[in-house]
Chain A
Amino acid sequence: MSETTVSEANNGSDSQPSSISEVTIRLAGNSQDGIQSIGGFLARLAGRSEREVMTMMTIPSTISGGASIFQVRLGSGEVLSPGDKADVLFAFYQHSYDNHVNNLAKEGILVYDSDHVEPHEEWLTKYRHIGIAISSLTIEAIGGTARDKGKNIYALGLIGRMFSLNTEKLERLINERFSGKGESVVKTAMDAFQAGYRYHSDDLSNLFSLARGGAERSNQVVMSGNEAIGYGLIAAGVRFGAGYPITPWTDIMELLRRELPKYGGSFIQCEDEIASVSMAIGGSYGGRVAVTGSSGPGISLKTEAIGWAVMAEMPLVVIDIQRGGPSTGLPTDVEQSDLNIACYGGHGDSPRVVLAASDVEDCFYTAIEAVNIARKYSVPVFVLSDQAIATRIEAFNEPDLNTICNDIKLDLSPVPSHKPYDLSSGDGLSRHRAPGTRIEDGRYPVVTGLEHDESGHPSGDAVNHISMTKKRRNKLKTLADELPAPEIFGPESGDVLLVGWGSTRGPLLEAVEQLSNGGYTLSTMHMKHINPLPTGLEDILPRFKSVYIVEMNDGGVYGYGQLAGILRARYADARIKGINKTAARRWKVSEIIERVKARLEEEAAV
């Protein structure tokens, strides 16, 4: 069997399904249609399958009634991004049809609900159209409700048929998903699925089958980036936190509120962002590191308290699910424009740690790393994620929880004496003693936001302020020496290095793979540790002729974005330039390729 893409395979109709290596499906409808749950089923199917990997994402989700989209990319090999263009578009309404045709690949297939969509003449010749009366057929199958429920499961049946998916596994998933809601609900869902699967059309039957992947994969778990952060925090031993609802951070707080009690912990919903960061810091002071988080304006509100945690050297994990800014900005769109506030937000010199997660799996492990750094260095640690990975669902290898999971013990063992801000340790690290700890010499610590002496009492002494400022900064230098150098894909030296951080990892890797025969060498480096920068980076950058920082933020007044600014300040290297995007949409692989090519041509012309 040959392995091809959908558009190639689509050129002839054959009774045998064509084998394809990957496919991108976009479902467009309204948010109440349960379009996202189709994605959930397909992701779980991938997680349980030994041969397909897939990844997917939602693009703007709105309150009930708004347009909603879900894009799924299924593949036999490693899938790095949700795909640029869709091979198949499912359009449930006229607006879905009208607004998303331009996202369909050349010779893509357009499946539309003929109850709601009137196809346009000029597009009929351009794309293969398959009209199915999805709404009325669903109603016919599950008993005539006018509420349009079940269309999503019917569509799932159609997808199962089109791509010869494993129906046995899909049915089991449907059963698991609905079994809590009673037998009749399961039966209704199953009826809808089977009706979709059995829908007969010469156009549709067994169009494609996904090729087998390479090696057998171990067990996989399936979750969104936000869920991965929540479970990572739990695995690392976080048992207390506080927050305030704001999109797209809210899922994490809902998860922690729901899950933490099982572990003897709690997550508190507060009256505002300032209360929630303060409550979390209070929890950390109690002896076990706590978490708060937010998005957009919520992060701005928390900055004063985070500055206190820097000054008082209190461990804290701050999750920032970035969205478009400034101000209320674009609440449901992606942007990487919080790097500066994470690194520098707040008054005064306030060194803190900033990590960025690159995909769903990395969200899990980054959350764990953040907790461990916060504990060891008594410092606030930011975890930056963004809207693109927050809601994206991916399957990844099941973590070995037995070795990963940690229960942080409350240590109240008496100590002979204690200085909360001991200057005698060269690495700048100090350790707190929680209330309840007996200090045998009777000198108890005060933790404070005022500049303080070693025991925490106020001091305006110039020499002391110099020493304490140095202490707070030096522990980040200690950390920098322990951090691994960032991963480089492609040649270790050469013409062009594309540097990314956060959710751009997948698209950058694909871009480098696709661009590798351009007559120049191309590499990409992905940064997870941004503040402090890992020691060793200074040796990597000079090995490349051009260094472009690819970010989803503005190039600013001087032509480079937020990470580029940090790197230029650190390495004083004018070759560091920005490739920036502010369209509030994720980078497409093709866009990166075009921008890099254009930049190289520009520079060659000079």
Chain B
Amino acid sequence: MSDSATLEQPTQDAGDRQPVTKKEITADHPTWCPGCGDFSVLSIYYKLIQKRNIPHENVTTVAGIGCSSRFPYFVQAHGVHYIHGRALSFASGLSLSRPDLHVFTFGGDGDAFSIGGNHFVHTARKNVKMTYVVMDNCVYGLTKKQTSPTSPLGFRSKTDGWGALDRPINPMKLAISAGATFVARTTHTNPKHLLEMMDAAMDHDGFSFIECLSECTEFYPGAFDASNPRKGGEFNLVPEDHDLTDEAAAYALASEDFPGRFGIFYQVDRPTKNALEAGVIEAAQDKFEGKSSSDILQATFNRIK
């Protein structure tokens, strides 16, 4: 038993160990279809882990349900395949109880903006420290082509044979309005940019959200061609003079027609939920310096005798 009730936190130190190799971090062969954009996100994640020299045992990957949410099986590291739409809540519990870890959560547009929409809003608002990468393909792939919350109007799916009727969600606007403190957009066809965004997201102290366009070659081929110069499209970066802390300007960027802009739309410093809770703990423990748990509970019981 420790003398103090303070919860010990492990260190993040990899010591003098070599960075993990690509072979060591690779697990099952992905179940994705050939040409799926998610392959690109997975290989950039491997690169990020190596570049940042994250100790192998600290790599923690959480996902919900969907094609992209199979992600943790393909990473040879601690991983969680949770239920549909609730990966962010699970990851929040992990992040808040284990602030020593940088938790990565991956998912698709259905997981993030449809069944998990409420959790997206509240995780952003609470600014729980983690990185959330949504691989947006604008379609339900695992269940084979139904309308998703980001499917554009008129998209013909098995649930909207006549073309999608409901106005799609704009993930960037949603994230900005919900209070996310890091909001970025990238695409699987530009791995260099994708790595840049993931790197910046990991540096951010707070909830860092990346929307990564990730083409479903099976059910929505060509969806993002307009953003791919190799397919005759344009890859337009966020203008250099854009003020990252200007919420209205970020909103204006998010309003541009497809293919829109790529890069960090919005980034501000706001205390994380992790830091705020740690502050509450510190203040509460002030009065109990060096006291054991049973001492503290005994003091409470003495008052209710």
Q: How far is the CB of A346 from chain B (nearest CB, A)?
A: 11
Most chain A CB within 10 A, of B27, B292, B305, is at: B305
Q: How far is the CB of A54 from chain B (nearest CB, A)?
A: 14
Contact of B301 among A240, A398, A456, A458 (CB under 8 A): A398
Q: Can you list, as one digit per residue, whether each of A328-350 has a CB less than 8 Å from chain B (1) or not (0)? A: 00000000000000000000000
B90, CB-defined interface residue at 8 Å: yes
Whether the pair A407, B5 counts as a contact (CB closer than 8 A) is: yes
Judged by a CB distance under 8 angstroms, whether B173 is at the interface is no
Question: In the bound complex, what is the Cα–Cα distance between A271 and B294 (angstroms)?
Answer: 32
Closest CB in chain A relative to B298 CB, distance in Å: 5
Cα–Cα distance between A275 and B96 once the two chains are bound (Å): 14
B118 touches A288 (CB 8 A): no
Do B304 and A240 have beta carbons less than 8 Å apart?
A: no
Contacting pair B280 A266 (CB below 8 A): yes
Give CA–CA (A286, B80) in the complex, Å.
11
Q: Which residues from chain B sit less than 8 Å from chain A, CB to CB?
A: 1-2, 5-10, 24, 27-28, 55-58, 60, 62, 72-73, 76-83, 86, 89-98, 100-101, 118-119, 121-122, 277, 280-281, 283-285, 287-288, 292-294, 296-298, 300-301, 303-305
In this complex, the member of B5, B76, B292 whose beta carbon has the largest number of chain A beta carbons within 10 angstroms is: B5
Q: Which A residues are in CB contact (< 8 Å) with B100?
A: 436
**Residues on B with beta carbons closer than 8 Å to the beta carbon of A434:** 78, 98
Give the distance in Å from the alpha carbon of A276 to the alpha carbon of B90 in the complex: 9
Q: Which of B7, B62, B79, B89 contacts A265 (CB 8 A)?
A: B7
Q: Is A596 part of the contact surface with B, judged by Cβ < 8 Å?
A: no
Q: Encode contact with B along A212-249: 1 for CB under 8 Å, 0 otherwise.
A: 00000001111100010001001101011010000000
A221-B305, A435-B101 are known contacts; what are 4 more A-B pairs with Cβ within 8 Å? A262-B284, A282-B94, A444-B27, A444-B57
Q: Mind listing 25 A-B residue pairs with CB under 8 Å?
A: A234-B293, A234-B297, A235-B293, A239-B97, A240-B93, A240-B96, A261-B283, A261-B284, A266-B281, A272-B118, A274-B86, A275-B92, A278-B89, A281-B82, A281-B90, A282-B94, A285-B80, A401-B294, A405-B293, A405-B294, A407-B1, A407-B2, A434-B98, A444-B57, A447-B81
Most chain B beta-carbon neighbours within 10 Å: one of A176, A231, A262, A409: A262
Nearest-CB distance from B176 to chain A (Å)?
Answer: 19
Across-interface contacts of A445 in B (CB, < 8 A):
78-79
A435 to B58, CA, bound (A): 6
Interface string of A197-225 (1 = CB under 8 A from B): 00000000000000000000001111100
A221:B301 contact, CB within 8 angstroms: yes
| B135 nearest CB across to chain A (Å) | 19
Contact A266 B277 (CB under 8 A): yes
Residue A287 lies at the interface, judged by CB distance under 8 Å to chain B: yes
Closest to B298 in A: A401
Q: Contact at B298–A304, with CB atoms within 8 Å?
A: no
Q: Which residues of A contact B78 (CB under 8 A)?
A: 433-437, 444-446
Q: How far is the CA of A279 from the CA of B82 in the complex (A)?
A: 11
Contact B305 A47 (CB under 8 A): yes
Would A261 and B281 count as touching, CB distance under 8 A? yes
Q: A117 contacts the other chain (Cβ, under 8 Å)?
A: no
Q: How many residues of A contact B (CB 8 A)?
A: 77
- B-contact bits for A291-318, CB 8 A (1 contact / 0 none): 0000000000000110010000000000
Q: Contact: A288 with B94, CB < 8 Å?
A: no
Residue of A nearest to B31 (CB): A458
Q: Which residues in B have their C-beta under 8 angstroms from that of A414? A: 57
List A residues 318-332 near B (Cβ within 8 Å): none
Task: Provide the residues of chain B in CB contact with A555, threshold 8 Å.
Answer: none
CB distance from B22 to the nearest CB of A (A): 13
**Chain A binding surface SS class:** mixed
A448 near B80: Cβ-Cβ < 8 Å: yes
- Scoring B10, B97, B305 by chain A CB atoms within 10 A of each residue's CB, the highest score goes to B97
Residues of B with C-beta under 8 A to A280? 93
| Residue among A271, A272, A285 with max Cβ neighbours from chain B (10 Å) | A285
Chain A contacts to B: CB under 8 angstroms? 44, 47-48, 176, 219-223, 227, 231, 234-235, 237, 239-240, 242, 259, 261-266, 268, 270-272, 274-276, 278-288, 290, 304-305, 308, 398-399, 401-402, 404-407, 409-410, 412, 414, 433-439, 442-450, 456-458
Q: Are B76 and A444 in contact (CB-based, < 8 A)?
A: yes
CA distance A276 to B83 in the complex (A): 14
Query: What is the minimal beta-carbon distance from B119 to any residue of chain A, in angstroms?
Result: 5
Contact of B8 (CB < 8 Å), options: A275, A398, A410? A410
Residues of B within 8 A of A401 (CB): 294, 297-298, 301
Give the 5 A-B residue pairs with the shortest CB-CB distance, closest first: A282-B93, A278-B89, A261-B284, A279-B93, A405-B294
Contact among B5, B86, B94, B288 with A305 in the assembled complex (CB-CB below 8 Å): B86
Docked Cα-Cα span, A220 to B305, in Å, equals 6
Q: How far is the CA of A384 from the CA of B134 in the complex (A)?
A: 39
| Closest CB in chain B relative to A361 CB, distance in Å | 13
With A263-B5, A266-B96 already in contact, the answer to whether A271 and B118 are too (CB < 8 A) is yes
Residues of A within 8 A of B297 (CB): 231, 234-235, 401, 405
Q: Which residues of the partner chain B approach A456 to less than 8 Å between Cβ atoms?
A: 79
Q: Report whether B96 and A268 are in contact in the complex, using a CB–CB cutoff of 8 Å.
A: yes
> Which residues on the A side are within 8 Å of B86 (C-beta)?
274-275, 278, 305
Residues on B with beta carbons closer than 8 Å to the beta carbon of A279: 89-90, 92-93, 96
Neighbouring A residues of B10 by C-beta, 8 Å: 410, 412, 436
Inter-chain contact A304/B304, CB cutoff 8 Å: no
- Structural contact, A449 and B76, CB atoms closer than 8 A: no
Cα-based distance from A223 to B119 in the complex (angstroms): 35
Task: Report chain A residues within 8 Å CB of B98.
Answer: 286-287, 434-436
Q: Give the nearest-CB partner of B55 in chain A.
A: A438
